[in-house]
Chains A and B, each alone.
Chain A
Amino acid sequence: MNIQCPPPVETDERVRLGHGSGGELSQQLLRNHVFPHFNNPWIAQGRDSSVLQPNHQPMVFTTDSYVVTPLFFPGGDIGKLAVYGTVNDLAMSGARPLYLSCSLILEEGLPLSTLSRVMASMGHAAAEAGVALVTGDTKVVERGKGDGIYINTSGIGVLDHPVPIGPEQIRPGDHILLSGDIGRHGMTIMASREGLEFESPLQSDCALLYGPIEKLLAAGIHVHCLRDLTRGGLATALVELAETSGCQMVVREDAIPVCPPVQGACEILGLDPLYVANEGRFIAVIPEQQSALAQSILSGCAVSAACRTIGAVANGDRAQVILENALGAERLLDRLPGEQLPRIC
């Protein structure tokens, strides 16, 4: 006779500490709420680690962690971000994304339906990006010690077009292209977190960026550098590139598109859209002679249809970013000392 102690019955539809124990509850969690969304041969093998088929192309590897409140917001959710963000980091090296890992840290009490929604969104995003989620892990922390769900993803991609892309390639005279209007993601999150309402509803710009990059590379554009604009916004990305490359950059404020709801919200709250987060925008530093072609290629892709040339790399030897406004005044762009804080009146 085969006597087995039955696993604890799932009394409610929430994550319990036992879901992270590695035992039967963990298996149930994976079987019912995670695996169905990532149907691929690696997951099916059920191993601790996955064997990937190496080829002879250079590989690109990156990792990122995702914490966001609220978990669901107009235009996206934490699951979509966790796929797009890491895939976009690969794309910024010019890499075609292939594999992702996914580590979940769940807070005790998280509704399982929420977990399922997030996993479904991750699965959808991974399929859309053409990546396979090949390994993962799940831990559960006590109630109050997490924020519902934290996700870490690492990604591996390959370079189909092995051109060196990075800050060290930036040269004086290069043009700086921005793929679209800025600030949508940050203001969407702020609005949903604080219950701010705008006349025209805002949506996160969260989007996959490898498509337009692939087109640039395939067209033979000598892309010198790419950077996706995430936390810290456009200004922080430019400052980082100027510092790493040792180059001076000059950008024109009136060339930087900001949609009316974002501009309005920033005016009211006293925030600078240059520092507001994005999840679907990037800058491309392109040799001057190819900049027009690059711009027309980017304009032909939906995610970068509103692409603009916002400035250029100057001959100056100071590693700094100068912003010219429409009235001809110049200012230095800096990193923010901390978070942007809304003003009083």
Chain B
Amino acid sequence: MKYVNEYRQKASIEKISREIARITTRPWTIMEVCGGQTHAIVKYGLQQFLPDSVELVHGPGCPVCVTSLEIIDQAMALAARPEIIFCSFGDMLRVPGSERDLLSVKAAGGDVRLVYSPLNAVELAEQNPDREVVFFAIGFETTAPANAMAAFLARQKRLRNFSMLVSHFLVPPAIETICSAEDNRVQGFLAAGHVCTVTGYEQYFALAQTYRIPVVVTGFEPLDVLEGVLMCVRQLEQGHYTVENQYRRAVRQQGNIPAQQLLEQVFEVSSQSWRGVGKLHHSGLRLRSAFSAFDAACKFELTLPSARDDSGCISGEIMQGRKKPGECPHFGRDCRPELPLGAPMVSSEGACAAYYRYHRPVIE
């Protein structure tokens, strides 16, 4: 298949691999930001194509994993209400809240629907004028434009029965938090290619300068990831720290401007709670006041329950690259995909799910 097969060819991958080995003279620690990249790395065993001195650590880019327990509990509460059709992306359905997940709310009678696009939820609201339709609008900059479009369309169509439970995250503040931590050991970043298709990568230049750290906008296929690593190692070896774009077939420096304009119109930047990490300034999006009629939290007067995350899941440390899944005492024992303690074991972008699925022959 075009745009896939040519990025999975062993010969091209080995070529890049030899080049990385040739130029590497010292140990380097590089973080891939996005969970999609983590999955490619673990699925294709890309670490075997890197010299031992180049270590990849996994970053915070799993939208399901960073969504706070409080918001997930709010989602459960909304989904259980008889007047509500609660719409969610598939990934979110199995994420454990304090007591249960959305699939068990569904089994208990809640009207929980899996949608592929937020616009499906808008259609549902039109088709069911006597029901309240709530869409669980989560994710990073990648999903934000479609979610913004849902609110935009709902306003245009004057829908009174559509709202969104918003929990949006921005990637650059998370990278900055990792860079500024005292014990940070990440020396270079592979930025999330799909986030940058929307945002572009101008905002990373300041970050690269401030923290003297290379940032390479990177794609998701095996060859993309290795090429990103090569570009990053090359900068590190030469003492450079700037922003480069490996994912040129999808990303432009200025990003997708119509999408950014729509985001600007619908959302504003706010502080946001990251699960396992805590509250970070300017790291989230919330609906602007012009769209507050579509804010489920206001509409249903939700208060944030003070949920206690005592599952034992160390998602915060996993998401910041401080620990690898195998270092968690629960991994593969009392935390497995069918009985997850936390989101990283559930999501198709979660690091623990990737290790469980693709790495067990190694860890057993």
Contact = CB atoms under 8 A, between A and B. Distances in A.
Interface of A: 194, 196, 260, 263-264, 267, 269-270, 322, 325-332, 334, 337-338, 341-345
Contacts of A264: 1
Contact of A342 (B13, B46, B89, B336): B89
A330 B361 contact: yes
Given A337-B94, A345-B142, A345-B143, 8 more contacts: A194-B116, A263-B1, A329-B48, A331-B43, A338-B103, A341-B93, A343-B91, A345-B140
B110 interface: no
Interface in B64-114: 64, 89-94, 103, 114
Given A344-B64, A344-B138, A329 B44 contact: yes
B325 interface: no
Contact of B337 (A260, A326, A337): A337
Contacts of A196: 116
Given A332-B360, A337-B337, A263 B349 contact: no
22 contacts: A267-B4, A270-B348, A327-B8, A328-B10, A330-B361, A331-B359, A334-B357, A337-B338, A341-B94, A342-B90, A342-B116, A343-B90, A343-B348, A344-B63, A344-B90, A344-B91, A344-B138, A344-B143, A344-B347, A345-B36, A345-B139, A345-B143
Contacts of B64: 344
B222 interface: yes
Interface of B: 1, 4, 8, 10, 13, 36, 43-46, 48-49, 63-64, 89-94, 103, 114, 116, 138-140, 142-143, 194, 222, 336-338, 347-349, 357-361
Nearest to B353: A337
B238 to A, nearest CB: 28
A59 B349 CA distance: 49
Contacts of B336: 337
A97 B36 CA distance: 47
Contact of B44 (A269, A325, A342): A325
B45 A329 contact: yes
Contact of A344 (B89, B94, B103, B360): B89
Contacts of A330: 45, 361
A196 B117 CA distance: 11
Contacts of B348: 270, 341, 343
The majority secondary structure among interface residues of chain A is loop
A345 B194 contact: yes
Contacts of A337: 94, 336-338
Contacts of B349: 343-344
Contacts of B43: 325, 329, 331
Of listed B94, B116, B222, residue having the most chain A CB within 10 A: B116
Contacts of A334: 357
Contact of A326 (B10, B116, B194, B347): B10
A332 B48 CA distance: 17
A329 B4 CA distance: 18
Contacts of A344: 63-64, 89-92, 138-139, 143, 347, 349
A270 B142 CA distance: 15
Of listed B8, B46, B348, B358, residue having the most chain A CB within 10 A: B348
B95 to A, nearest CB: 10
Nearest to B141: A345
Contacts of A338: 94, 103, 338
Given A263-B1, A338-B103, A338-B338, A327 B94 contact: no
Contacts of B361: 322, 330-332
Contact of B8 (A194, A326, A343, A345): A326
A219 to B, nearest CB: 36
Contact of A341 (B63, B114, B142, B143): B114
A308 B103 CA distance: 38
B121 to A, nearest CB: 13
A331 B356 CA distance: 10
A329 B139 contact: no
Contacts of A331: 43, 357-361
A331 B42 CA distance: 10
Nearest to B115: A194
Closest 8 CB pairs of A and B: A329-B45, A341-B90, A337-B338, A343-B348, A342-B90, A345-B142, A337-B337, A331-B358
Contacts of B360: 331-332
Contact of A328 (B45, B114, B338): B45
A269 B1 CA distance: 16
A327 B222 contact: yes
B184 to A, nearest CB: 27
B10 A341 contact: no
Contacts of A341: 90-91, 93-94, 114, 348
Nearest to A262: B1
B219 to A, nearest CB: 13
A329 B142 CA distance: 29
A194 B114 CA distance: 10
B250 to A, nearest CB: 13
Contacts of B358: 329, 331
A269 B117 CA distance: 11
Contacts of B94: 337-338, 341
B15 to A, nearest CB: 13
Of listed A329, A337, A344, residue having the most chain B CB within 10 A: A344
Contacts of A325: 43-45
B357 A327 contact: no
B191 to A, nearest CB: 15
Nearest to A196: B116
Given A194-B116, A341-B348, A345-B143, A327 B10 contact: yes
